[in-house]
Amino acid sequence: MAAVKATPKAEVTIKKDWCKGCGICVHYCPKGVLAMSENLKAEVKNPEECTGCGNCEIYCPDFAVSLRRIQ
Amino acid sequence: MSQVKTKLMQGNEACAAGALAAGVCFFAGYPITPSTEIAEQMALHLPRVGGKFIQMEDEIGAMAAVIGASIAGAKALTATSGPGFSLKQENLGYAALTEIPCVVVDVQRLGPSTGNPTAPSQGDVMQARWGTHGDHPIVAFSPSSVKEAFELTVKAVNVSEKYRTPVVLLLDEIVGHMRENVSLPDKVEVVERMKPANRENYLPYKLDQEVTPLIPFGEGEYYHITGLFHDESGFPNLVPELVTKKMDRLMAKINNHKDDLIITDEYALEDAEVVVFTYGASSRSARRAVKEARAQGLRVGMLRTATIWPFPEEKVKAVAEQAKAIVVPEMNMGQLIYEVERVAKGEADVVGVNRYNGEIITPEEILQKVKGLMNGATN
Amino acid sequence: MLQINVENLRMQKLPHIWCPGCGNGIALSALTRAIDKLGYDHDEVAIVSGIGCSSRSPGYLNFNTLHTTHGRAIAFATGLKIFKPKMKVFIVTGDGDCTAIGGNHFIHAARRNIDLNVILFNNNIYGMTGGQASPMTPFGRTATTAPYGTVERNFDIMELAKAAGATFCGRATAAHPRLIESLIVKAAQNKGFSVVEAMLPCPIGFGRRNKLGGPVEMMKYLEENSVRVQKAQKMSEEELKGKFVIGEFYNKPAPEYIEEYDKIIAKLKK
């Protein structure tokens, strides 16, 4: 039986062109939604875990992460 | 212009009166001899007309505050003397590049360094031209009387607004502290800051026009101002082709309007074999010397300039072609004489009369030099 | 974006020039959110800066923006604010810009209690010129101009501002972006000279030379060594060694320069 997946509260998108790969958003995401990709940029790995806390958006020094509330 | 008020006043007072007449409503300064009376006058009068005065912590800050106020829409002026003028140079360059109207009054005193704070000098004419780093346009006037201190302050404010440029007003300790009975007009011609005809897609630095109207901050168009080289929108852009265009336009907006900027007067010039080229307080002695020479039957004339920068090249060239010698009295070791020599191109002998010890140049010294030249001696 | 009003940014000028992991962007983001919370019109806001990494901030902000000369932002802003008091003026300045070359303007603006808001981006180093020591490089830390460690003591800008007469002082770090934001809001609400210090990581110019790790390690360092001002009051000097005290330090009204000057104008009118 598959585990019951949490309903994500928000959708995270990353502007790859603006991301400089500092890793700060990954560090401050409490749920491991974000991870560093092989090309050293942030990527959304576990979107369903997002609680919409907003850390990634306000900690990103490059305005590269944005959140959209899921109704 | 109706002449109403006749008053015994000091050159520095007349300068402050001129600033107020021209609509200056912001002054930032720092006390320094022999310019301090200008700040004192502004502190007294500005709040009475709803204007603002601030004594800043130094001359650098005063220059910065003046530019900041001008960006907010004020006609703004600061006054200082040699050491303070040196401190203002970096921000003067900022105003030149960013094209912010403002006026800097420098009441020249003997330098270098602290020198002699209460003695006159004309030692800052080259600092006015080249004091800030890099090429840049500059306008500088130098009055030789109390009345002219008033008139040229008005002119300086008007020119700064019309051409969006810093303007330097070079008084000297004599003109600044001398008292004369003067009749001042109750109204003067005032140039108001240009307003753009069309606000759509406002660009503060259009390349295809000499001067773009400057919309003050807080009046509907928010944009960027930087001391970096910039494009038409005001944002940093260091592309060499763009920098060339900006610099060419900066110089052209002054150089194309020399007729509007250059003020000279002539005395007994028509048949003169020797011409005294003069400016500022020294021209008072020069006038007396020329008068005396004429009384002695000598063909001597005088060309006085009230505009130091841009330099009155055409006038000096004409004089060089006419006369066999040009005498340049200056209270320095010879500064503007280099410009005279450059323009004369050997057409006439160019000889200085110089004082650089805090004493004024007397009419006798000039007359002696003139007589020597009439007798064929060049030095 | 959910928390950042993109209208406050000049999106066409982004991405910015700063290095990966530079804390300037975190403070800049906090500033945009604070201005949004304050509900100011774009046209009544002026952002004034000097020279340095942080001083490039105004270019990215969609307001009246003024990038001036090194150290002089506060002096330019003084003229601007005095002549047009309706403007809400924020000065973005770095530790070198504000406390070295601009130190005199800083203390005098504080003394006047003129209604300006200084947002001091403190990254402990001259970043733009490549990592030289500033007056806020901590004692003993290395820099290109202090290769054996600086023997100069660093400023505590909260103490300096307060002593000089500032009426609002607060400090936060990049690890506390919501605190930076709320301090900026309070600074703007204070009618007087306000100072918000944002301690920010400079992983390239400062962290690397001082072996402080990458961006994340530097953020952790700021987080782990920060102590709230309320808690710090109960700690001994010994316990506070190496810690950064954060929060609201001082908030006490005093006569404001422009209001006092305007009283004179009003009196003379009568």
| Separation CA B85–CA B90 (nearest Å) | 10
pLDDT tens-place string over residues B324-365 = 999 999 999 999 999 999 999 999 999 999 999 999 999 999
- pLDDT of res. B379: 46
Does A16 lie at the interface with C, CB-CB under 8 angstroms?
no
Across chain B, what does the average pLDDT equal? Answer: 96
Reply yes or no on whether the pLDDT at A3 is more than 70: no
Tokens of C213: 């790790």
Question: Is residue B256 one of the residues assigned to a domain?
Answer: no
Q: Is B223 part of a structural domain of the chain?
A: no
Which is more confidently placed, C1 or B243? B243
Local confidence band at B167 (pLDDT 50, 70, 90 cut-offs): very high
Do B155 and B59 share a domain, yes or no?
yes
Fold of C16-269: Rossmann fold (3.40.50)
Q: What is the dihedral of CA B275, B278, B284, B286, to 10 degrees?
A: -30
- Residue B92 in any domain: the answer is yes
Q: Look at residue B378 and tell me whether its pLDDT is greater than 60.
A: no
Mean pLDDT of A1-20: 84
Q: How many domains does chain B have?
A: 2
Q: Please provide the DSSP assignment of B129-189 as one string.
A: HHSSSS----EEE--SSHHHHHHHHHHHHHHHHHHT-EEEEEEEHHHHH-EEEEEEES---
Q: Which residues contact B152 (CB under 8 A, 6 or more apart)?
A: B18, B141, B142, B143, B169, B263, B306
Question: Tens digit of pLDDT for each residue in B187-198?
Answer: 999 999 998 888
Domain boundary among B185, B207, B225: B185
Across chain C, mean pLDDT equals: 98
Please tell me whether residues B176 and B279 are part of one structural domain: no
CB B153 within 8 A of CB B15: yes
Assess if residue B216 is contained within a domain. no
* Contact criterion met (CB below 8 Å) for B156 and B169: yes
Quick one: what percent of chain B has pLDDT higher than 90?
A: 94
pLDDT tens for residues B40-65?
999 999 999 999 999 999 999 999 99
- Nearest beta carbon to residue A66 from set C1, C19, C174: C1
Asked whether A and B share 3 or more beta-carbon pairs under 8 angstroms, the answer is no
pLDDT in tens, C132-150: 999 999 999 999 999 999 9
pTM: 0.97
Contact list, B57 vs chain C (CB under 8 Å): 104-105, 108
d(CA C191, CA B5): 43
Distance, in Å, from the CA atom of C62 to the CA atom of B235, rounded to the nearest integer, reads 12
Neighbours of chain A (3+ CB pairs under 8 A): C
Which of A34, A58, A60, A65 should one mutate to test binding to chain C, selecting the residue with the greatest count of C CBs within 10 A? A58
- C26/A61 Cβ within 8 A: yes
Mean pLDDT within B1-15: 84
d(C-alpha B3, C-alpha B9), whole Å: 15
| E runs forming strands in C108-167 | 117-122, 125-126, 132-133
Same domain, B280 and B137: no
The total of structural domains in chain A comes to 1
Nearest to C43 among B65, B90, B222 (CB): B222
Chain A CB within 8 Å of residue C216 CB: yes
Yes or no, beta carbons of B218 and C64 under 8 Å apart? yes
Q: Are residues B155 and B282 in the same domain?
A: no
A11 interface with C at CB cutoff 8 Å: no
CB-based contact B52 C105, cutoff 8 Å: no
Using a CB–CB cutoff of 8 Å, tell me whether C16 touches chain A. Answer: yes
pLDDT band at B200 (very low <50, low <70, confident <90, very high): confident
With respect to residue B192, please indicate whether it lies within any of the assigned structural domains: no
Other Cβ atoms less than 10 A from the Cβ of B236: the count is 16
| Owning domain of residue A61 | 18-66
Q: Which CATH number does the domain housing residue B148 bear?
A: 3.40.50.970
Query: What was the pLDDT predicted at A2?
Result: 53
Is the pLDDT score of B2 beyond 80? no
Q: From residue B237, give the alpha-carbon distance in Å to each of B147, B230, B249, B367.
A: 45, 5, 16, 55
Q: And the tokens for B89?
A: 């140079």
**pLDDT tens for each residue of C108-124:** 999 999 999 999 999 99
CATH code: domain of residue B310? 3.40.50.920
Nearest by CB: C67 against B62, B69, B226: B226
Residue A5 confidence class, pLDDT cut points 50, 70, 90: low
Task: Check which CATH number belongs to the domain holding A40 and give it.
Answer: 3.30.70.20
Mean pLDDT of B242-265: 98
Low-confidence ranges of chain C (pLDDT < 50): none
- Residue C44 has, within 13 A of its CA and on its CB side, a CA count of 11
Task: Calculate ∠ Cα B162-B73-B190, nearest 5°.
Answer: 40
**Closest chain B residue to C56 measured between Cα atoms?**
B226
